Every structure is written in structure tokens, then in C-alpha cells.
Chains A and B, each alone.
Chain A
Amino acid sequence: MSKRIDVNNLNVYYSSFLAVEDVSLAIEPKSVTAFIGPSGCGKSTFLRTLNRMHEVIPGARVEGEVLIDGVNLYGDNVDPVTVRRHVGMVFQRPNPFPTMSIAENVLAGVKLNSKRISRSDADDLVESSLRGANLWEEVKDRLDKPGSSLSGGQQQRLCIARAIAIKPDVLLMDEPCSALDPISTLAIEDLMQELKDEYTIVIVTHNMQQAARVSDRTAFFNIAGTGKPGKLIEMNDTPTMFSTPSEKATEDYISGRFG
């Protein structure tokens, strides 16, 4: 289920503007990897290159390679649609489809690409995915109600259920808690700890405490100034990063002297 990601010399562009420069890193399977750094340092941009969502923006492109268990996502013969079925994503703001019910939201990805699924299989998948996202108990009596009737935290867990329903190898989370209250945040963080038994999880967060709480490894991105490209400064095991970082910039950022 979970797979290893290797990124080699990746440059990310918006048209001619270099947004992220020369990133090389490795992401271990069955772990949580956190990307931290100040706003505009390119950590979200970089995250979106891991499932080729970056190129949805007109003019966006990359150079370099992203290997998932040795397969280059940017190779010829690779279809971004297929990539995204293997690398799921949860966004900053909860985005369940407003016209679909809770159950339909969970099944939205499964029914794509003209896949057929029997009624009982569908019911089982809805339950297992919602249980996987710790949401089943709260919504099991109103699966036919619109997804937008849930609270923000519940909506975000619905989005996680939707993402894990298609059984991806990797789960990307782009600041999944930044629009949520502390209790919902805690629920999502707990969920990440459970999910990492099965999935490779990569999370972008503005919240350093969150990175320290949930992640096994942390990568620090920084930017020299506006108009300059973001860079990977340092990546290490999370306890090491937060106690004895090897770079001065990391230490400044973590101790709050900057950013």
C-alpha cells in the first residue's frame, strides 16, 4: 500500500518564474513527513508536484524527477490522471462536493473512470472509509444528507475518507488543519497517526507544534526574499530538527526568531 518517494533535483516553475529550486529528498513509506517554512517558500507548490496537481495551473511545469518506488512520475507514458489515483490529496479548506450526499462524496473517486461497483460493496466501502477517517459514528444515520451540512472538521475528515476510499499509496495533506478549530485539529492529528500504519503521509503545515507532534521526519523550506525561489534548507528526523538543527536558518525559524 504505502510507497517510498524519491525526489531528485526538482525545479518547479510557474511559466518562467522559478518557484522552487533544486530539491532532492526522500520520503519513507509508512511514516509522516512534514514540510514547514514561512509563507511563500514553495512548500505547498512542491507538495503539489508529488501528484502532478501542480500542472493544473496554466503555465506551470517542473524539471527533474519524482520517483515513487522507482517509477518517475514525470516520465513519458505516465498519465497524470493515473498518478493522482495513486497519490491522494487533502486540501487546505474542506471541499466536499456540495451537490453530493455524504455517501456519494466518499464514493466520488471510486466511481470515476467508469468503474462499476455493486451496491453492497459500495455500502461496505463507505463504512470502512468513514471508519478509517473516524467519522462513521457521527454520520452513519445521515449518509444521504449533503456533505456541506457537516461542520468544518467533519467535512475535512469526509475529504480524508474520500481520499482513502480509492486506496492510494501516498496521502498528501496541504495544511489540512489550518481552517479548523483545535478540537477538530486534534481529531485529524490522531487520525494521521492511525493512517500512517497503511499510508505514506506528507503534510504541509504552518504550525510547528503540529509538525513536532505528528511527523517522523521534517523538512524545512525557506526563501531568500520575494521573487527568489524557495529552497529545501534541511531535512532530518523530527526530534533532531526541533532540538539540534544543523542549519542556522532552521534554528532561527523554529525558535521563532524569524517568520
Chain B
Amino acid sequence: MTTTETQPEAAPPSDYGTHPGAFANSFFKRLSTAAGSLILITLAAVATFLLVEAWPAMTMGAEELGKVVSFIKPDQGQSLIEIVGYLVYGTLLISLIALLLATPVSIGIALFISHFAPRRLAQGLGYLIDLLAAVPSVVYGLWGVAVLVPFLQPFYQFLADYFGWIPLFAPPESGEIFTGRVAMSAGIVLAIMIIPIISAVSREVFLQTPKLHEEAALAMGATRWEMIRMAVFPFGRSGMVGATMLGLGRALGETMAVLMIIGPGLTYSLLVLQPNQHNTIAAYIALQFPEANATGVSSLIAMGLALFLITLLVNMLARWIVSRRSEFSGAN
């Protein structure tokens, strides 16, 4: 080989410089960073607002607060902190009822749509579920009061008559009217409200199950249900937790339906069939807000802060559940 005289011409440096897409690339990066920061800023702003506005009520002495705010009665065991306690309990209790009722039904609906229904029926059913999610909560509340509560009363009567010895189902004391405007009714209406969101998200998750794993189970002689337990549920577990938490989030913060249905009260009782026992934070705030003075509003905002913290904790708990067995998640 002889060396050739002509060296390859050195490329001008600009050939290796920038390119037309560079600006758009960095622009998009900044845009998405800004969008990402916005969520943090919003969260911080909300937290700050709640803290600042709730501060006067939180720092005021119980006696003093009782004199200024009509719904706070320290002498009757209803100081601000005590009310928050009752409300947190009521909120969690009613949301728990809703979640316990809604989750199995929603998973069932999602499985039926994703793995059992004929394709055409599944599509129609999917639209219907999405439609249910769009019904405003006021409508659910009205329907709950006008239709569901009267409909449920005989069932409550039955439960109270035959299972009244279980503290949970104890009937109202004799003489009181059996109204049905109780925590159980509120829980049931909330369950119906969150079924669409849980089943819609679960359905999407179930549909994502790799065909490969479904076929692996079927090829070993699994029945459809065994295939679902072996391939679909493990794959969709984190998605199901996420869906449930979305539903819980809606249940925790729901105002109108609870406000319209429940006969409010402030206790730590488990008597879900008796009126005037429970209330939720959101419904309580909505109830008291119109007639509250400045300090009253500050007290209500303190309750809002409690709701904010509960929601945050619930979500962190859900994250933790999802990540606990991430080694086995299928993402690796």
C-alpha cells in the first residue's frame, strides 16, 4: 500500500457544531421542567395558604376560640382539636365503608370488561362506566336522598332486627325515627361514586397484561380464573392500588353527597346505622362556612389542613405498598 497524496479534506468545524433541532430540544426540555416544577409550586402554595390561614385559630386558646366561634364549644367537649378528631374519624370511617364496598365490585367490573365480556359488549360497558364517572356529585347526593335512602331503610331495619347485637348494626334507641340518613348510606353513595374511577383505571391496567404471561398460565392448564390470579393480578397489583387510591382520594374529599345524605354528628362511635353520629371534614366545612366569622373561617381552614394531611399520608402509604415488592414487579 502506498500512501496517497491527497489527505481527506478537514471538515469545517461548523459541520460538527449545532444542528437545527438543538433549539427545539432545549426549549422542550425547559418547557417540561417548568411544567414539572409547577406541580411543586402549587403544592407548596396550597400548604402555605392552609398553614397561614389556619394559624390564628390554631394558636388561639380553646376558651377564647369558643367565645368567638359559634360552632366551637370547649365546655361541651368540642374544642377545635376535638372537632378535628371526630371529623377525621368520620371521614376515614365513611371512606373506608365506601372503599370496602367499591373495590371488589370495581375489580369485578374491570375484569369482566377486560377478560370475560364479548368484545362488543365490553366496549359499550366501558363507555357507560366512563359516563358514570362524569355525573356530578350533587346529582348523586340528590339521588341518594330521594331514592337510595328510602330503598335502604328496610335493609337497615333487617340488619338492626337480626344483627343488632353486633355493635356495628345497633339500631337507634327506641323512639328515634329510623331515618336512613346515616354513615352507611353516605358510604354506599360514595362507593357508587368511586366505582367508575376505580374500574376504569383497573380495566386499563388489566388490558395491559402481557399476552405472553396470560398464555403461559393457560398453557399449563390454568382455568380463566387461575390465569387471572396468576398473570393478571400480579401484573396489575400496583395499578389496582393506584386506582383504589384515586377512588379513596375522591371519597375523602367528597362534600355534596355526604352533606345531603348524612344526619351530622360528632362522636367516635361505630354505629353506622344511627344518625347524628358522624360527619366528614369536607361536609362539615361546607355546612359551617356560610355563617362563619373570620376566626371561624380560620378554624375551618385548620380542618382543611387536616384533610390535606390525611390525603397526603394515604397517598404515601399507597406508594409504599406499591414499591415494597418492586423487585418482583415485572418491570425488570
Contacts and interface: CB of A to CB of B under 8 A. Distances in A.
Given A58-B119, A148-B332, A95 B215 contact: yes
Given A53-B215, A58-B119, A99 B329 contact: yes
B220 A95 contact: no
B221 A113 contact: yes
Given A81-B222, A84-B221, A95 B327 contact: no
B215 A108 contact: no
Interface stretch (B125-133, B226-234, B240-248): B226-234
Interface stretch (A11-19, A29-37, A86-94, A123-131): A86-94
A56 B230 CA distance: 16
Contacts of B226: 112-113
B235 A98 contact: yes
A146 B237 CA distance: 16
Contacts of A96: 216
A85 interface: yes
B212 interface: yes
B213 interface: yes
B225 to A, nearest CB: 11
A56 B217 CA distance: 12
B63 to A, nearest CB: 57
B213 A95 contact: yes
Contacts of B332: 98, 146, 148-149
Given A93-B212, A112-B226, A98 B219 contact: no
A58 B118 CA distance: 9
Interface stretch (A158-166, A191-199, A206-214, A219-227): A158-166
Given A99-B325, A112-B226, 16 more contacts: A81-B221, A84-B220, A85-B220, A88-B219, A91-B212, A93-B212, A98-B213, A98-B234, A98-B235, A98-B329, A99-B329, A100-B328, A101-B328, A108-B230, A109-B220, A163-B219
Nearest to B224: A81
B323 interface: no
B230 A95 contact: no
A146 B329 CA distance: 9
Given A99-B329, A100-B328, A146-B327, A112 B213 contact: no
Interface of B: 119, 210, 212-223, 226, 230-231, 234-235, 237, 325, 327-330, 332
Given A95-B213, A99-B235, A113 B330 contact: no
A10 B157 CA distance: 63
B213 A97 contact: yes
A56 B223 contact: no
Contacts of B327: 146
Interface of A: 51, 53, 56, 58, 81-85, 88-89, 91, 93, 95-101, 108-109, 112-113, 146, 148-149, 159, 162-163, 166
Contacts of B235: 98-99
25 contacts: A81-B222, A84-B220, A88-B219, A91-B216, A95-B212, A95-B216, A97-B217, A97-B234, A98-B234, A98-B329, A99-B235, A99-B325, A99-B329, A108-B230, A109-B221, A112-B222, A112-B223, A112-B230, A113-B226, A146-B327, A148-B332, A159-B216, A162-B216, A163-B219, A166-B221
Nearest to A146: B328
B288 to A, nearest CB: 48
Nearest to A51: B219
Nearest to B226: A112
Closest 6 CB pairs of A and B: A98-B330, A99-B234, A85-B221, A109-B220, A89-B219, A84-B221
B112 to A, nearest CB: 16
Contacts of B222: 81, 109, 112
Given A112-B226, A113-B223, A99 B328 contact: yes
A169 to B, nearest CB: 12
A148 B231 CA distance: 14
A173 B230 CA distance: 22
A56 B215 contact: yes
Nearest to B119: A58
B220 A97 contact: no
B21 to A, nearest CB: 34
A58 B122 CA distance: 14
Nearest to B231: A97
Nearest to B223: A81
Contacts of A101: 328
Given A97-B230, A108-B230, A162 B220 contact: yes
B219 A53 contact: yes
Contacts of A88: 219-220
Contacts of B231: 97
Interface core residue of A81, A93, A98 (most chain B CB under 10 Å): A98
Nearest to A56: B218
B224 to A, nearest CB: 9
Contacts of B218: 53, 56, 84
A85 B213 CA distance: 17
B221 A112 contact: yes
Nearest to A93: B212
A113 B219 CA distance: 13
